[in-house]
Structure 1
């Protein structure tokens, strides 16, 4: 099973490299839970919709991934994304450690870990230096990410 789970992780990131959010979402269990420092506690269809939104907005996007490991229940990978943050036009290189839990041959939990302060400094410039350093600023970034996702989801109805 570990080879199948490692292959599932590779399939997920290869789809991401192509900007294929549908193929990415197909790797998720219907009851998936996703979390990262910006998009906290997404469940089910929200997680797939986050990838749909991000892929649809991606500019100058490239992704690499490595160190894929998986066993019967858990997996991990390293990945990095380069892109232009559309709200500011600033260039971002985000380095992420991903952790996965599997159920029924699909990803049931996906947690991405990255330095939000580093991301904020790149994406937001001087404002990000302060915002990303403070707990209230990190909460504000997450709240804005949630609002953005909700607005995107509403526009698709």
Structure 2
């Protein structure tokens, strides 16, 4: 389904601390969004929002993308609580899952590619999170202002 890996961590970070940070990040995402399937749905909404104007998306997808942004910020904070300030970031890798032997059953004789060949990667850098939260807040304020003016003239 998806994997999470800590990137650009301090060189002296023990493997156990790295695994703990990755676990905390995943746990916060899944708890806040409702489970692994909802993490995937929110991630997909966010990636769609990156390339699509907000007025071209369904309201539910816009809300889900904004929820992803907020949840990622919270998950990053939870993951790094024991490490303090760092420029490390998490890579979320989404991959298509195929049953073993799937290609052979279809008569495809090509060599199977490594699993990361069919993956899409998202880098969650601290700067990008701040920019997206800021953009999201600006969009929300614009929406509120527009509706306020329509209602109250």
User: How high is the TM-score relative to the length of structure 2?
Assistant: 0.25
**Which has the larger share of helix?**
2
